[in-house]
Amino acid sequence: MVKIKMATPLVEMDGDEMARILWQLIKDTLIHPYIDLKTEYYDLGLLNRNKTQDQVTVDSAMAAKKHGVAVKCATITPNKQRMEEYPELTELWKSPNATIRSILDGTVFRAPIAIDQIEPAVKSWKKPVTIARHAYGDIYKASEMIASEPGECHMTFRGSSGAEQTMLVQKTDGPAVFLGQHNTDRSIRNFARSCFEYAASSRQSLWFSAKDTISKVYDGHFKTVFDEEYLSYKERFENLGIEYFYTLIDDAVARVVRSEGGFIWALKNYDGDVMSDMIGSAFGSLAMMTSVLVSPDGKYEFEAAHGTVTRHYYRHLKGERTSTNPIAMVFAWTGALKKRGELDGLPDLTGFAARLEDACFETLGSGVMTSDLAALVRPGFSARAVDSQQFIEDVAMRV
């Protein structure tokens, strides 16, 4: 077989634990036999990030800006427990995703990979709900402080002109913790425009929700910017027969649960993080969700929306075979390959990526599934749970 040639490299960001194991298995079984794969490789495994003082994460993001398309494996964001687990760590490194998203300053679009064999947990849903998650700022770029005594916390902004604004955050009568977060007008406008463009291109209505009744200035500014930016899309939306509206996030949750799906739900950074996990799980599994970061200048980073699957990794280290669902990682690769093929004018590359996705659906349709999905199939459908390697090999037979 003549392998498909690539013109421009993908930026490959490797990860941690079981996700890293499956990442390599996917490449070896489903990609290398068919494609003369060209990548610019960055090891974002926790120990290498520690070794490079996290410079490797910054370098990978800058490479994504240069080459235009990246594909990322799941990575560990360390907490205190991980510091005990990895005593080599010199500090609690920040989330690689947050660093990359901050540099690319885009919007993360996440959508469930729905299959006929599994009914959504929400019975009214007939179409996937796509989450548009702002990818900059809020708690992911916040500054935190803990105080051990009574006192006052103030917030000060000093402008480049020398003008200064100071306000009292809180006066406390004992120990307290404080959190300061921010966003930028430019990033919020880019977020809004990305959402409107994506909605128009996919012919789906757009919902945006926040909590401006409580956060009258911060969340209120998001709402104002969306309203302003919508003015230039209003006629286009009307011609397409789709709509845009804003509603409070608590009202949006109720509406989403009662809906049939088939729309885009735009959310601030943390809200989008939480709700994308909820949507993915309700459609079957976090491992059944596509995720792509789109920057304002047309750069793309495809990833699996789930974590590193720690529990399965430790079983793997004991020599056990695990039934870890690799679909989201496969679709991260196919998404990146399709976009690379589109940008470089390589129909063979985009065609292969589409065939690989079809092979995944055919394998699932035949009843061959990992255990997380096999336990969720509709009554009357016969499913056979297999381990990860067997599932990937079954997909390879159908490519």
Q: Percent of the chain having pLDDT more than 70? A: 100
Instruction: Give the per-residue pLDDT at 71.
Output: 98
1: pLDDT strictly greater than 80: no
Q: What is the largest CA-CA distance in the chain?
A: 73
Mean pLDDT of 329-334: 98
pLDDT at 297 over 90: no
What mean pLDDT is predicted for residues 240-245? 97
> Averaged over 258-276, what is the pLDDT?
95
Q: What pLDDT score does 226 carry?
A: 98
pLDDT at 73 over 90: yes
For residues 289-305, average pLDDT: 91
Say how far apart CA 314 and CA 292 lie, in whole Å: 28
Q: Which of 10-14, 67-71, 91-95 has the lowest mean pLDDT?
A: 91-95
| Strand 151-158 relative to strand 164-172, pairing | antiparallel
Amino acid 286: pLDDT: 83
The mean pLDDT of 36-47, rounded to a whole number, is 97
Q: Tokens 């006192």 sit at which residue?
A: 151
Closest alpha carbon to 374 in 306, 340, 324, 328: 324
What is the CB neighbour count within 10 angstroms for residue 395?
25
Q: CA–CA separation, 378 vs 118, rounded Å?
A: 6
Rounded-to-integer distance, Cα 323 and Cα 35, Å: 26
Share of the chain above pLDDT 90, in %: 91
- The CA-CA-CA angle for residues 51, 45, 20, to 5°, reads 155
The pLDDT assigned to 284 comes to: 84
Res 285 pLDDT > 90: no
pLDDT at position 296 is 84
Name beta bridge partners: 385.
Answer: 369
Strands 151-158 and 300-304 turn out to be unpaired
Q: d(Cα 250, Cα 271) in Å, to the nearest integer?
A: 11
Mean pLDDT of 186-198: 94
Q: What is the pLDDT of residue 74?
A: 96
> Using 50, 70 and 90 to split pLDDT, how confident is the model at 59?
very high
Domain ranges of the chain: 1-112+300-399, 119-141+184-283, 143-180
Q: Which of 283, 372, 360 is CA-nearest to residue 325? A: 372
From CA 18, how far away is CA 315, in angstroms rounded?
A: 9
d(CA 382, CA 360): 17
Domain 119-141+184-283 has CATH 3.60.21: no
Confidence of residue 25 (pLDDT cuts 50, 70, 90): very high
Whether the per-residue pLDDT at 337 is higher than 80: the answer is yes
Q: Which residue has the higher pLDDT, 285 or 300?
A: 300
Q: What is the pLDDT of residue 172?
A: 97
Strands (E), the chain: 4-5, 10-14, 35-36, 39-43, 69-72, 107-112, 130-134, 143-147, 151-158, 164-172, 176-180, 206-210, 244-248, 264-267, 289-294, 300-304, 368-369, 384-385
Residues 6+ apart with CB under 8 A from 340: 6, 8, 10, 69, 346, 349
- Please report, to the nearest 10 degrees, the dihedral formed by the alpha carbons of residues 15, 16, 19, 25 taken in order: 70
345 pLDDT tier (thresholds 50, 70, 90): very high
The band of 62, judged by pLDDT with boundaries at 50, 70 and 90, is very high
Tell me, what's the pLDDT at 106? 83
String of DSSP letters for 167-183: EEEEEESS-EEEEE---
Q: Does domain 1-112+300-399 have CATH number 3.40.718.10?
A: yes
The backbone region for 373, taken as left when phi is positive above 0, alpha when psi lies in -120 to 50, beta otherwise, is: alpha
Cβ atoms of 386 and 394 within 8 Å: the answer is: yes
pLDDT digits (tens, 9 = 90+) for 164-177: 999 999 999 999 99
Mean pLDDT (the chain, rounded): 95
